[in-house]
Amino acid sequence: MSKIKYYAIKKGNGVTNKIVETWEECKVLVLGYPAIYKSFKTKDEAMKYLGLKVKEDKPDIEKEETIKKVKKRKGKNQKILKICLENELYEAFIKECQELDMSEDLIIKNMIKEWLC
């Protein structure tokens, strides 16, 4: 049985500061490009390598913090999600977005894509 590795990609094909869990995912993003990447045994080590804040304790997500509804069509193949979060969780999320210099929409979209893959 193979051990899980975490591949931290500082710079790759269209990505920066990304962590993936398989070589198959990693090689698509790094081979043939002037990429900077490294493998690690733990996700925390990979996050430190990328200069990301390692989370000690994540707040529990409660029932109130659920997706409320699909609001409306944005485009032909797009929909808008509306969610409700507690203030503390929302503020921590916004702070992390700012530290990563990424938009909230992009982070949520990427998290959903990774979760579904």
109: Cβ contacts below 8 Å, ≥ 6 apart: none
62 and 73 within one domain: yes
User: Domain check: are 32 and 64 in the same one?
Assistant: no
Which helix (H) or strand (E) segment holds residue 27: the answer is helix 23-30
Query: Which pLDDT value is given to residue 35?
Result: 92
In this structure, the answer to whether residues 76 and 117 fall within a common structural domain is yes
Rounded to two decimals, what is the model's pTM? 0.47
Looking at residue 113, its pLDDT comes to: 83
Give the domain range for residue 26: 1-55
pLDDT at 66: 52
Say if CB 9 and CB 35 are below 8 A apart: yes
- What are the average pLDDT values for consecutive 10-residue runs of the chain, which has 117 residues? 84 92 93 93 92 68 51 64 82 84 82 83
HSE (side-chain half, CA atoms, 13 Å) at 85: 14
Q: What are phi and psi of 29, to 5 degrees?
A: -90, -15
Q: Quick one: 37 and 64 in the same domain?
A: no
Tell me: do 41 and 86 sit in the same domain.
no
Count of domains for the chain: 2
